[in-house]
């Protein structure tokens, strides 16, 4: 089970959600973002590397990093 992080043009949030709304594992049809790969959707970009994954709104500069040690926002 993971944590929920939302990135919008306004910034990053880590909302508290009811138990039934907590994130679950992605279905098998969702591809894995391998180390060194990136994916973009509009102004949002996520990059995977050996230390974790970072996602950023390229217009606002808001984003977050997901690492084994936790989630940091910027």
pLDDT in tens, 20-65: 777 777 778 878 889 999 999 999 999 999 999 999 999 999 999 9
With beta carbons less than 8 A apart as the criterion, state whether 63 and 74 touch: yes
Q: Cα separation of 73 and 3, whole Å?
A: 13
Q: Binning pLDDT at 50, 70 and 90, where does residue 3 land?
A: low
What is the SS3 assignment for 19?
Answer: helix
Q: Where are the chain's structural domains?
A: 37-74
Query: Is the overall model pTM greater than 0.75, yes or no?
Result: no
With beta carbons less than 8 A apart as the criterion, state whether 40 and 56 touch: no
């Amino acid at each position: 089970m993971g944590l929920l992080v939302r990135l919008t043009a306004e910034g990053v949030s880590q909302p508290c959600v009811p138990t039934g709304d907590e994130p679950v594992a992605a279905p098998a049809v969702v591809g894995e973002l391998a180390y060194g790969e990136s994916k973009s959707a509009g102004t949002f970009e996520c990059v995977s590397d050996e230390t974790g994954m970072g996602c950023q709104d390229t217009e606002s500069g808001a984003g977050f990093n997901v690492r084994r040690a936790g989630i940091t926002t910027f």
